[in-house]
Structure 1
Amino acid sequence: MVNWIEKTKLLKLNDFNTATNSLKYHLKTILNFFIKRHTNANTESFKSKIKLFRANQKGVLDVKFFLFKMEKNFA
């Protein structure tokens, strides 16, 4: 992908430069999907699980105990 970005930079076409700049900016995130199969949806899903867990616990009074229960439930 990096080779393609460099080759298109040499063409000096504005349309391709916009695409290459976007790819270069998001390259780490794009490659992370292919390496680890991680997406932003995984993070959002985990956030919603935490919110639901917190709601079921009626709030958090003891942070250490909350983190302990989080580790036991989601690790």
Structure 2
Amino acid sequence: ILFRLFPKLKEAYWLINDLRAIFRTKSSTKETAKKALEGWYKKVTKSTLREIKSVKQSIQHYEDEILNYFINRDTNASAESLNSKMKAFRSCLKGIRDIPFFFYRCVTVFG
């Protein structure tokens, strides 16, 4: 019913599902993923949705970095996690007067 009432929503849904399928395919290599993305780009070019076209432009801009995912299926999630922990730790230091005691407490809590 929803797709009948909102055909643009249906179009966006299928384009995003096609993009997800590229990343879900376990046997994809960097080269096959590049070919699949090029096919997806052609579908998006025919689309009338500017939001999806914006996503396409972003993917094209960072395509080399995105395609590196298909080498070992590694992401930078662990680096981002460490970065957020460091930011949280720095925010805890604001307003601390007894820094040695604070570090002692951090070691006992996080150590």
> Is the pair's TM-score, using the shorter chain for normalization, greater than 0.5?
no
TM-score tier after normalising by the smaller chain length:
0.3 to 0.5
| CA radius of gyration, larger in | 2
TM-score by length of structure 2 reads 0.32
Q: TM-score, normalised by structure 1?
A: 0.44
